[in-house]
Structure 1
């Protein structure tokens, strides 16, 4: 089989390496070119017990009893991302999710702590399906801010890659194997940014097709003992866009909720789902502009936003963080209709859909608190539709937009 060529680059090179495999190269020959994952890399990979990998006579792998119960839990980032598995980072458009993903990648590739915790060090493969030219600047901003060096461990793929396309998926697999062998480093994270741009060939509202997509991503995660992080958008109602199978089939889910007003620029990242740990863990990320030391063609300094402060939110700060998250979700309802009034009942429904496990009475109270705060800040106006409350943006030309992160959420990137 001939594999489609993918363009791969890193922030220290203007050249592209083309990874391809021709029909003259057998699978056995290719395997011999790659280092085994267990020994050369600095991060140990747990090896399953023999019974866990023993196929039955029917060709299926089986285990018995409690085999494997004591296999160590390996984290990419403790409590946030497991060492192996598929998850998602979700936010509304302009929700700063790409900045959080780049910050995570920078920490992993440079050995910088993430939220004060050690991250598993290794290669990061970043599929930038849109706005790829801005990613190296954002990573450079991370290096300047943290006095760090990511080297060539950040491998940028500058075009969409669909998990359901056999040729593209196979080419991605060979790129990961080739870079792992040539750099003598373990691949620990694959970022797909975004799901929408890297899902050509499927209907994102089809449960079966979405499940197949996640299954292919899981195969890659298991093969390389790495995490796969899929960057995704919320729907207009604030929930996950597309089929519910997306969240249902994930091993973990992170949500980024941008906090307004933006002084400073910040977002709250929450663990919404975790098969290996607890949910409800919140972290706050503050972002600031950093000049990169060069000018654009108009002679103006080129800057980018970078995470300048990140911290876990303690339990006694959770109510404030919860209100900030609710305010961000409610503001997101005006993305597609900035000049319209939205009934309070609709805001209740959107928050209920976001947090189905929370009692309706609690949701009602949270909507009241968030809307009152937004009115006090001069962001929303309260009005009446009949006997019911409704809300409208105070200024119809609000800076809320509906574009992908890589295009517009960093006005300082040229």
Structure 2
């Protein structure tokens, strides 16, 4: 079978489809054009290939945006480590390969972040993470040519092509363009797409939010990229009441997959074992836990109803206030934030009322509940 058909596709293609592929190959030989062509539905079985499962596709262009304290750069350092070593990101698989980071806002902190992650996992990334220690002006031809040359050199030197190129940040590498001009944004993204296509690499831009909590710039940014990821800092307490350093990761746009994916990321401060020139211990943040928000919410909704019935049965109060149920449920599910707790309890109470298992008593905005019968199962 012709090399035009990938090895993965060979396993799926039927004899009828093979004859069509043969016809297409003959057509391509006769049609003299540099343009990439497809015919009909051929190739429909080729699914999405993930760089980071459910979040970042291979050979694509996207953005991750958040406020300055939303831990975007710490997350990207973790992803770089996962890709370089092949270690899963929580319960999500990764497509192992080298990573290039354009540290346009200063590279001094990045090696420290990688070192702390290496120490936590006792794995060294060796030469699989490469940093460019200055901005790359993505709309200046000679700058882009240098980036192309670097990617070619890395493929030759490392023996494999880098899988991910991170632009940290978009604003630093888009000097001279108007973020609110659709034409300027389209030129920038087209440059990213050319890099992606020529080097089979994913280009991930780090960007900031505006005052309204949305990404800065023209709507052309949202319309022209393959995926957009958002980070949002959240306050959460652990079971010992110590405040966690947490951010919520959400996929908000994806051309080829569902956006119903979100994870809570918990970080902690780690000492680097070195001091600054004034004798102060240097620290950085390291990812401790990755929790699927959908999975947690679904499990807690199923668990909340049983919890409410059990709690009301064991209570010595005739009616238990909803705020008490919230507090008690929080102690059982410390990984959930208080907003999710309140929604779970409120939803579950309504279901139990509709099922005739509990009764509600209202006093203004306050709600309290009691068992509707003493014949509930043990």
Q: Normalising by structure 1, what TM-score?
A: 0.63
Of 254-263 and 146-155, deviating more is 254-263
- Cross-structure match for 2:121: 146
CA distance in 1, matches of 2:281, 2:35: 59
Cα shift readout 1:99-132 (whole Å, capped 9, x = no counterpart): 1111101110122111222211111000010131
From 255, 266, 271, the counterpart of 1:286: 266
CA distance in 2, matches of 1:58, 1:290: 56
Shift of 1:46: 8.5
Shift of 1:185: 2.1
Is the 1:165–1:201 Cα contact (8 Å) retained in structure 2?
A: no
Higher relative helix content: 2
* Change in 2 beyond 3 A, CA 1:317/1:72: closer
Determine helix, strand or coil for the equivalent of 2:177. coil
Cα RMSD for the two superposed structures = 2.7
CA distance in 2, matches of 1:168, 1:318: 48
Is 1:163 equivalent to 2:138 in the alignment?
yes
Is the 2:154–2:161 Cα contact (8 Å) retained in structure 1?
A: no
Shift of 1:73: 2.5
Is 1:188 equivalent to 2:168 in the alignment?
no
Is the 1:160–1:197 Cα contact (8 Å) retained in structure 2?
A: yes
- Cross-structure match for 1:353: none
Is the 1:46–1:72 Cα contact (8 Å) retained in structure 2?
A: no
- Cross-structure match for 1:312: 292
CA distance in 2, matches of 1:219, 1:183: 22
Cα shift readout 1:309-344 (whole Å, capped 9, x = no counterpart): 112223452799xxxxxxxxxxxxxxxxxxxxxxxx
- Cross-structure match for 2:250: 270
Is 1:203 equivalent to 2:178 in the alignment?
yes
Moved over 6 A (4+): 44-47
From 209, 226, 231, the counterpart of 1:234: 209
Is 1:217 equivalent to 2:192 in the alignment?
yes
CA distance in 1, matches of 2:158, 2:33: 39
Is the 1:290–1:304 Cα contact (8 Å) retained in structure 2?
A: yes
- Cross-structure match for 1:107: 82
Higher relative contact order (CA 8 A, sep 6+): 1
Number of aligned residues: 281
Shift of 1:183: 1.1
* Change in 2 beyond 3 A, CA 1:315/1:119: closer
CA distance in 1, matches of 2:212, 2:230: 15
- Cross-structure match for 1:74: 49
Is the 1:113–1:119 Cα contact (8 Å) retained in structure 2?
A: yes
Shift of 1:80: 0.7
CA distance in 2, matches of 1:269, 1:171: 33
Is the 1:284–1:311 Cα contact (8 Å) retained in structure 2?
A: yes
CA distance in 2, matches of 1:46, 1:215: 29
Cα shift readout 1:358-391 (whole Å, capped 9, x = no counterpart): xxxxxxxxxxx79x99xxxxxxxxxxxxxxxxxx
From 77, 92, 105, the counterpart of 1:130: 105
Is the 1:141–1:306 Cα contact (8 Å) retained in structure 2?
A: yes
From 287, 299, 314, the counterpart of 2:279: 299
Cα shift readout 1:265-289 (whole Å, capped 9, x = no counterpart): 0000001011121103111111111
Of 230-239 and 301-310, deviating more is 301-310
Shift of 1:247: 1.2
Structure number with greater Rg is: 2
Is the 1:124–1:188 Cα contact (8 Å) retained in structure 2?
A: yes
CA distance in 2, matches of 1:301, 1:238: 34
* Change in 2 beyond 3 A, CA 1:140/1:169: same
Of 213-222 and 309-318, deviating more is 309-318
Of 256-265 and 278-287, deviating more is 256-265
Determine helix, strand or coil for the equivalent of 1:260. strand
From 47, 53, 65, the counterpart of 2:40: 65
CA distance in 2, matches of 1:319, 1:120: 29
Determine helix, strand or coil for the equivalent of 2:283. strand
Shift of 1:259: 0.5
Of 222-231 and 61-70, deviating more is 61-70
- Cross-structure match for 2:325: none
CA distance in 2, matches of 1:46, 1:129: 40
CA distance in 2, matches of 1:46, 1:181: 27
CA distance in 1, matches of 2:298, 2:169: 29
